[in-house]
Amino acid sequence: MTTLLVNATLLPCTPDMPVIEGGFVHVEGERIVAAGAGPAPALDGAEIIDVGGDIVMPGMVNPHCHMAMTLFRGLGEDVDDRLYRYILPLERTFVTPPMVRAGTALAAYEMIQGGVTTVADMYYFETEVARVVHQSGMRGVIGQTIADFDPPDHKNADEGFALMDELFAEFSGHPRITPSLAPHAPYSTDVAVMNRVARWVDDHPGTPVQMHLSETGPEMEWASKNYAMTPVEVTAKAGLLREGLIAAHCMYVNEADIALMAQSGVAVAHNARSNGKAGRGIAPITALRAACIPVGIATDGAMSGNTLDLFAQFGPVTMFQKIAGGSRALMPAMDVIRMATLEGAKVLGMADRIGSLEPGKQADLIRIDLSAARLHPIYDHYSMLVFAAMANDVRDVMVDGQWLMRDREVLTLERKKVLRDALQIASEFKAEMVRLDAQHR
C-alpha cells in the first residue's frame, strides 16, 4: 500500500518547525518513506491524494486522559463539591467493563475527529480500554490505575497489579498499544506502592508510568504533613522519579522540584483547561520547559476539561503562560504546536517513532481543511492553528498508514452505536443523580 499526499502545506514538525508550501508525503505500509518539498516522486500504483493546499501535519499527542470519563462530561458543572457529591458515588456504582468500553469508544471517536492520533490513558478496567483503542485504530499508552481508595476495579494493590498483568499479557508487543502502569498519585498510593511500581519497571525497562503529581492543595498538605516533603520529593524517595514517568498536572512544583525533575528525566502532561476550570491556577510550564523538561498538551478526562481535542487547549495553554508572565511573547504559537506533536511524543517516550513527519517514522498524520473563512488571512500557520483553527477543521486522519477518518467520517467506529451506548449509560447517571440530590437535601 503506497499513498502519496501532494500539494500540501506541509508542517512536518521537525525541530526547526518549517512550513513547506507545495509539499508531499510518501507513505508505504505503516511508515513514512519521504516528506518534503515537491515535486513528489512518480510512483506506480500509488494512491495519489491532492490535498489542494490543505495543511498536512503529524497526528497530535494527548499525553493524559481518562477516556471512559467522557460519560461524565459536564456532570455537576460548577458545583464545588461535585467529586464527593456525584463523581465518586457514580463511579462506585457504574464503573464496569461495559461502561468503560462505551466511554472509551465515545472518547476515541471525538479524539479522531479532533486530530489526536496518540493518547495516554489511565483509568479502570484498562484491558477493556486497550481493546477499544485497538479497534479505533488510534495509538495508545494504556495504563492500569493502582490506588488505595477502594477504586471500582480492585480492592487492594495485589488486585491492581493482577489487572496490570492481564493488560500486559494481552497487549505487550502490540504495534499501537503500549501497556503502562498508573499509580494514581502519591497521596492515593503511598510510598510502598510507588516503590513496588518502581521495582516492576526495574524488571521491565522502558515501561511508561503515568501518575498525577503535584495537582491539588490537599496533596501538597499530605506530603508536607507525612513526609515534610513535596510530592515530587516523595516520588523521588519512592524511586519513581525517573525516565519514563509521565507526570500529569505539576501545578505546584517549586524551583527545587523542577531541578529534581529535570535531573531525573521525567516528562509532564499539562492540562490547562482542566486546571483552569477547577480554579487551581496556572502550572509553571514556562519554567518547566526552560529546564528542558518535555511538556505535552493534555485534555485530562472530559469530566474535567470537557473536550478531548487539543485545539480547545491551545488558547488556555498559551494565554495562561502569557498572563502568568505578563508578556505577549511567552509561549509562542510555534511552541504550542511543538508540544502538541514532537514534544508530546517525547513525553511518551515515542519521539523516535511518531510526532513528526520524517522518513522511517510511523505514518500518523492529519489533514487540516483551510476552507473556513474564519481561518483567513493566514500570515503565520502556527498562529492560525493555535488561535483560529478548531477540531472541526480536521478533515482526514491516518495512523500507521491506515485512514481512521476521511472527509470527517470516522471509519473505524460506528457513530450510531457509539452514541447509543454512551447515552444509555448517561440516562442511568441522570436517574442516580436525582437520587443523590434527594439524599443531599
Q: Which is nearer to a copy of itself, 119 or 245 (CB)?
A: 119
CA dist 85 and 97 (Å) reads 23
**Order of strands across the sheet with 116-123?**
60-65, 116-123, 139-146, 177-183, 209-213, 245-249, 267-270, 295-297
Closest distance between a copy of itself and the C-beta of residue 319, in Å?
Answer: 3
Q: Which is nearer to a copy of itself, 207 or 275 (CB)?
A: 275
Closest distance between a copy of itself and the C-beta of residue 244, in Å?
Answer: 31
Closest distance between a copy of itself and the C-beta of residue 305, in Å?
Answer: 8
Closest distance between a copy of itself and the C-beta of residue 389, in Å?
Answer: 10
CA distances to 288, 292, 382 from 327, in Å = 17, 21, 18
Residue 64's Cβ-count burial label (10 Å; 0-12, 13-18, 19+) is buried
CA dist 318 and 308 (Å) reads 17
CB 118 within 8 A of CB 354: yes
Q: Which is nearer to a copy of itself, 225 or 374 (CB)?
A: 374
Residue among 316, 314, 310 at smallest CA distance from 394: 310
Closest distance between a copy of itself and the C-beta of residue 285, in Å?
Answer: 14
Residue among 351, 352, 362 at smallest CA distance from 31: 362
Q: Which residues bind a copy of itself (CB under 8 A)?
A: 71, 73-80, 82, 106, 109-110, 113-114, 273, 276-282, 306-309, 312, 315-316, 318-320, 322-323, 325-330, 332-333, 372-374, 376-380, 382-384, 387-388, 390-392, 415, 418-419, 422-423, 426, 429-430, 433
Output the nine-digit C-alpha cell for 139.
495509538
Q: Which is nearer to a copy of itself, 169 or 378 (CB)?
A: 378
Output the nine-digit C-alpha cell for 234.
516523595
CA dist 392 and 114 (Å) reads 7
Q: Which is nearer to a copy of itself, 198 or 413 (CB)?
A: 413
Q: Which residues, 6+ apart, have CB-to-CB distance to 314 below 8 Å?
A: 297, 336, 340, 385, 386, 387
Q: Which residues, 6+ apart, have CB-to-CB distance to 190 below 8 Å?
A: 148
DSSP code at position 215: -
Q: Which is nearer to a copy of itself, 42 or 434 (CB)?
A: 434
CA dist 273 and 303 (Å) reads 11
**Residue 76 zone, left/alpha/beta (φ > 0; ψ -120 to 50; rest):** left
Q: Which is nearer to a copy of itself, 191 or 330 (CB)?
A: 330
First to last CA, the chain: 62
* Core vs surface per residue 14-48: b (16+ CB within 10 A) or e: eeebeebeebbbbbbebebbbbbeeebeeeeebee
Closest distance between a copy of itself and the C-beta of residue 345, in Å?
Answer: 23
The dihedral built from the CA positions of residue 370, 374, 376 and 378, taken in this order, carries a sign that is: negative
Q: Which is nearer to a copy of itself, 240 or 297 (CB)?
A: 297
Q: Which is nearer to a copy of itself, 322 or 353 (CB)?
A: 322
Q: Which is nearer to a copy of itself, 194 or 336 (CB)?
A: 336
Closest distance between a copy of itself and the C-beta of residue 109, in Å?
Answer: 5
Q: Which is nearer to a copy of itself, 32 or 283 (CB)?
A: 283
| Residue keyed to cell 434527594 | 438
Q: Which is nearer to a copy of itself, 31 or 280 (CB)?
A: 280
Number of continuous H segments (helices) and E segments (strands) in the chain? 17, 17
CB 201 within 8 A of CB 164: no
